Amino acid sequence: MPTSPELPSRRGVLRTAAAAGALGLTAHAATARAAAEIPAPALPGGLHPYRSPYLNWAGEIAHPGLWTCAPSDGQQIADLANWARAAGWRLRARGKAHTWSPLTITPGTDVDARVLLVDTTTHLTATELATPPAGVPGAVHAQTGVTLEALLGFLADHGLGVTNTPAPGELTLGGTLAIDAHGTSVPAEGEAARPGHTYGSLSNLVLELTAVVWDAASGRYVLRTFTRGADAACDVLAAHLGRGFVVEAVLQAGEESAMRCVSRVDVPADELFAAPGSEAAAGGCTFADFLATAGRVETIWFAFTDRPWLKVWSLSPQRPATSRPVTGPYNYPFSDSVPTVVSRLAGRLVADAAWYLAPELGALQYTVAASGLTATLSKDLWGASHHLMFYLRPTTLRETANGYAILTRRADVQRVISEFAGFYRERLAAWARNGRFPVNGQVEIRVGGLDQPVDVAVPGARPPLLSVVRPHQDHPEFDCAVWVDVLTLPGTPGAPEFYRELERFCLAAFDGGHALVRVEWSKGWGYTDTAAWADREVIHSVVPASFGTAQWAEGTRLLHELDPHGVFGNTFLDALLAP
């Protein structure tokens, strides 16, 4: 039976008024009206539909209740696909809805839309060890509804792990593969590549995928398994943006390792993001300096503050004497659970339209982080890598975010970060002088590797075709990506317009010279002055061009061949991925 949607709490201030309206007092009436207008679908194989609300991470894409079902195996999903084709419905895989973009459902989806959510998290969660390719320590066979926290915990129990993972452990494997989810890592100086690992996205670990696809010979949707290096379909399904349905995956894995994570809040932004060769960069505290030493760096730069929260992870087989050992994930409780003082101030911004308090909110968030690190003895941690890489719970501040990956040379990372940070800071100050405060969250900056085929232990492997960190054939010199996100509370006035300024700057500054920008699939992009995912030029021209004409054409063609009837899609994906 479906569970009831979670009750509002302090976290309620982190959702937009629009989302509250969608799921508030009118939700029951809207659901009842939908039920009257369209009866429960008669699903195949004894599957029972039920109404379930949909709410994405920031609450900006919401629906009061779509018909939903929870299949127990891949064959039931194939049966659903054949039913959907005949009945004129579309299927959308539903994991944890930890996304910002309209890849599952689109904003404004009709109450009575013929869209069936397919819950993968109830039954499709099995994991087992698989036979690894030669030279690789291990491999895992997993169903795509398993969470990353459960999957990496299973691997760790067998001495295995991965180099990159997103910070939230509650993401599903299927969701992370759909959008080539990433972490933050490049080789530190002197660090050798480790078998089974990749500095690229999780999608680059794929060895085999089982998906529901169209079979022209039988005229039906069927389950089919595709192998990396042998089947082009595997290359596109490894990052399919929701335009396919992967049921199971086999991933390679390397040896698990212990890591150290040191947090600092004393390095000024002027030094951390300094221009290469400048006086401020001479002190050895630039982002690139920390990257050279450890290879794994993240900065969280709260709005209108001058000292970011800097995290530096490093491989550390033995515990340093100053490090506190940890035995589980989520070791920053002051960040995972929103402190009352922060929720109250955020509530004032939203409820009272007191957006001018953005500088105070940024300063308060910095203070909470700085004092929390000291109070919880979290400045220097040591433990299993997956325990240190998972640090974001669903109870954290719910913000909207834009997102881009800027491909560049390792030698130009500091230049790219300095240029982005300089433009962001100048524009934020200019807006503030005019009494406008479009950002009240933070800037997050990470650096990761690209999806290099050499990391994959099968002959003939190619990078996932639509991975954001797929190497660009015209720029072999680009060997890493700077990931940038700017976060703000949903509904903040002027945010889309500000995001558009940042996007236009990135497109102009990182146009393929010393760097090339691509959009991050799960975040906000394609901005007009009023909305995300709405700029037709970005959707139809800029995004395809950033991948290269041939690669984009091959990827969209394969997705269409695997699902020519568009059962796995929505109107946004129809426009973005038109063959």
**DSSP letter for each residue of 196-240:** T--SS-GGGGEEEEEEEEEETTTTEEEEEEEETTT-HHHHHHTT-
Residue with tokens 């405060």: 437
Helices (H), 309-357: 333-336, 340-351
579 residues of the chain, pLDDT tens digit each:
333 333 333 334 334 333 333 444 344 455 545 544 678 999 998 899 999 999 999 999 999 999 999 999 999 999 999 999 999 999 999 999 999 999 999 999 999 899 999 999 999 999 999 999 999 999 999 999 999 999 999 999 999 999 999 999 999 999 999 999 999 999 999 999 999 999 999 999 999 999 999 999 999 999 999 999 999 999 999 999 999 999 999 999 999 999 999 999 999 999 999 999 999 999 999 999 999 999 999 999 999 999 999 999 999 999 999 999 999 999 999 988 888 899 999 999 999 999 999 999 999 999 999 999 999 999 999 999 999 999 999 988 899 999 999 999 999 999 999 999 999 999 999 999 999 999 999 999 999 999 999 999 999 999 999 999 999 999 999 999 999 999 999 999 999 999 999 999 999 999 999 999 999 999 999 999 999 999 999 999 999 999 999 999 999 999 999 999 999 999 999 999 998
Q: Among this protein's residues, is 444 annotated catalytic? A: yes
Active site (annotated) includes residue 98: yes
Residue type, 234: C
DSSP H or E stretch at residue 297: strand 296-302
Q: How far is CA 151 from the centre of its chain?
A: 17
Task: Tell me if residue 271 is catalytic.
Answer: no
| CA 338/CA 117 separation, integer angstroms | 30
Query: How far apart are the C-alpha atoms of 384 and 419, rounded to whole Å?
Result: 35
CA distance 525 to 553: 21
Secondary structure (3-state) at 63: strand
What stretch of H or E contains 80? helix 74-87
Catalytic residue among 60, 271, 419, 444: 444
Q: Of 197, 446, 472, 514, which one is the catalytic site residue?
A: 446
CA distance between the termini of the chain: 39
Question: What are the Cα distances from residue 530, in Å, to 401, 495, 499, 537?
Answer: 15, 8, 10, 15
| Secondary structure of residue 311 in the 3-state scheme | strand
Both tokens assigned to 465: 């075709």
Tell me the pTM. Answer: 0.94
- The DSSP line for 507-574 is HHHSBSSSEEEEE-TTSB-S--SS-SS--HHIIIIIHHHHH-HHHHHHHHHHHHHH-TT-SS--HHHH
Q: 204: exposed, middle or buried (C-beta count within 10 Å: 0-12, 13-18, 19+)?
A: buried
d(CA 412, CA 447): 12
**Token pair belonging to 49:** 């539909």
Question: Of these residues, 98, 240, 415, 514, which one is catalytic?
Answer: 98
Helices 413-433 and 287-294: crossing angle in degrees, nearest 10, is 140
Return the closest-CA partner of residue 303 out of 153, 444, 145: 444
Rg (CA), the chain: 23
Q: Which residues pair with 225 in a beta bridge?
A: 210
How many CA atoms are closer than 13 Å to the CA of 514, on its beta-carbon side? 10
User: d(Cα 486, Cα 335) in Å, to the nearest integer?
Assistant: 17
pLDDT of residue 4: 31
Whose tokens are 């970005």? That residue is: 538
